[in-house]
Every structure is written in C-alpha cells, then in structure tokens.
Amino acid sequence: MIDDDLAGFVRATLRSVWALELLLLMKRRADEAWTPERLVQELRASTSLVSEILQDLTTAGIVSRTSDGAYQYGPASEVVRNCCDALEKAHRERPLSVVKLIASAQNDRLQTFADAFRFKDK
C-alpha cells in the first residue's frame, strides 16, 4: 500500500506513466544533464510529451534547467527529494501499485472534466 503523502505527491506531480519513467531515469542518472532531444530518444517518446513532462517536473521543483538549456534532476527541497526517494522505492517494490495510482488520478481528472458538463437539476 502506498501511503497518503506519497499518493498525494504522485497525483499532484505525475500525469502519466511516461512522467514516472522520465523522472526515474533522470533520478537514477542525476549527475547527467539531459536535453529534451536526448530524453525523446532514450524514452522513445514524442517531443511534445517530453516537453510537457519537463515543464511539469520543473514547476514541481524536481528538475531544473541548466544554463545551456538542458535539464537535470535536483529537487528544490528536502521534502521533494524525500518524496522522489519514496516514489523510487515504491516503484521498485510495488510497480503495479504506482502505475494504478497514476491511472486512477488520470481517471479522476477525466471524471471531474466530464462532471463540469453535467446539467444540474434546479
């Protein structure tokens, strides 16, 4: 079971399994700076997807942009670092639980969007 703090972090930070894979790759190789093009090749993902994920991870304070336009793993705070460490451990020990959590968060967002278009009884 994934604890509530980690679940909240995942829901707030990762919109897809692609984001999880990109984050874990950059975390495992934290000493490297990654260009978006290199991440596209490494993950076999689209340029737009990688760009979107990098923007999300930058906003969340998980990665930062270097002066030459590359990106590097480097959490902005100890709290974020601890969450990333817990996420890596959870993914190693219970990968399906992490993937299901991400998928359920996607479904929740879709349901919220769909509910916005429901007619309410007066």
Question: Could you tell me if 6 and 89 are in contact, meaning their C-beta atoms sit under 8 angstroms apart?
Answer: no
pLDDT tens digit sequence for 68-77 = 999 999 999 9
pLDDT tens digit sequence for 45-65 = 999 999 999 999 999 999 999
Amino acid letter, 67: S
pLDDT band at residue 1 using 50, 70 and 90 as cut-offs: confident
Q: How much is the mean pLDDT over the chain?
A: 89
pLDDT tens digit sequence for 88-112 = 999 999 999 999 999 987 544 433 4
The domains of the chain are located at 4-111
What local confidence, expressed as pLDDT, does residue 109 receive? 44
Sequence-distant (6+) residues with CB within 8 A of 15 are: 53, 56, 102, 105, 106, 109
| DSSP code string of 25-70 | HHHHTTTS-B-HHHHHHHHT--HHHHHHHHHHHHHTTSEEE-TTS-
Domain 4-111, second-level architecture = Orthogonal Bundle (1.10)
Sequence-distant (6+) residues with CB within 8 A of 88 are: 24, 27
